[in-house]
């Protein structure tokens, strides 16, 4: 897989600010859901990005619960907060027209706020980090973001093709939605539902 590098500064990208333990436990510091939403307000996340965020959150929490029901060890609180905060830095970068490396800045922001492990999970939602995912928490948040186009739950194919059209650098790098299918296969190999059923199931909850 050729890694997309939209506005990426390799030096910044490998800062290692956050840390990802092999297994998330109750000892890591997390904001409450209310505190997470307050952080979104603090960093002035735009309304359209908030709408996208809440839909990603719905998908992520749904999948996390399904995996837990299937016997997988998943920290639901980490998934919930990371899916809420994964785009915390995106609005500022769009408004200020800075290079799009919002996943790196999300990690930096959350580390400064006192949540380094959570920051790391948010960083790992990036397209270019998909091959490097290790924990269920990272995989669920990354995948859920790849299933939501704006506010609509779509297939990976539709989501990646939309991103390719909107970001010319991705088109130049010939980003292929098929590169993200192994992650989908891994997740749904544990479940009794199919990827194309997620939209209806989430919307009916």
* Structural domains of the chain sorted by starting position, each given as residue range(s) with its CATH number in brackets: 31-203 (1.10.3210)
What is the pLDDT of the chain when averaged over all its residues? 85
Question: What CA–CA distance (Å, rounded) separates 197 from 205?
Answer: 13
Q: Is 103 exposed, middle or buried (0-12, 13-18, 19+ CB in 10 A)?
A: buried
Q: Is the pTM of this model over 0.75?
A: yes
Q: Which helix (H) or strand (E) holds 143?
A: helix 136-145
Contact 93, 102 (CB under 8 A): yes
Contacts 24+ apart (CB under 8 A), 53-58: 53/83, 53/84, 53/86, 53/87, 54/84, 55/148, 55/151, 55/152, 55/153, 56/83, 56/86, 56/141, 56/144, 56/145, 56/147, 56/148, 57/83, 57/84, 57/144, 58/202, 58/205
Alpha helices in 14-130 (DSSP H): 33-42, 47-69, 76-85, 90-95, 102-112, 116-123
Q: Which residue has the higher pLDDT, 204 or 91?
A: 204
Q: Which residue has the higher pLDDT, 127 or 57?
A: 57
pLDDT tens-digit readout, 90-145: 877 665 555 567 888 899 999 999 999 999 999 999 988 899 999 999 999 999 99
pLDDT, residue 28, reads 83
Question: What CA–CA distance (Å, rounded) separates 159 from 168?
Answer: 15
pLDDT tens-digit readout, 126-141: 988 899 999 999 999 9
pLDDT tens-digit readout, 153-169: 999 999 999 888 876 65
């Amino acid at each position: 897989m050729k890694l997309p590098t939209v506005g990426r500064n390799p030096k910044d990208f490998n800062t290692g600010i956050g840390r990802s333990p092999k297994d998330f436990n109750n000892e890591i510091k997390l904001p409450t859901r209310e505190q997470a939403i307050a952080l979104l307000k603090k960093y002035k996340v735009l309304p359209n990005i908030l709408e996208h965020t809440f839909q990603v959150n719905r998908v992520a929490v749904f999948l996390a619960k399904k995996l837990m029901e299937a016997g997988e060890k998943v920290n639901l609180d980490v998934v919930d907060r990371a899916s809420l905060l994964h785009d915390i830095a995106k609005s500022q970068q769009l408004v200020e027209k800075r290079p799009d490396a919002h996943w790196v800045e999300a990690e930096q922001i959350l580390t400064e706020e006192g949540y380094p492990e959570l920051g790391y999970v948010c960083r790992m939602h990036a397209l270019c980090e998909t091959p490097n995912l290790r924990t269920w928490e990272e995989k669920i948040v990354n995948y859920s973001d790849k299933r939501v186009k704006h506010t609509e739950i779509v297939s990976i194919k539709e989501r990646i093709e939309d991103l390719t059209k909107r970001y010319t650098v991705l088109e130049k790098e010939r980003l292929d939605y098929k590169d993200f299918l192994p992650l989908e296969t891994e997740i749904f190999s544990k479940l009794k539902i199919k990827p194309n059923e997620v939209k209806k199931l989430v919307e009916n909850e």
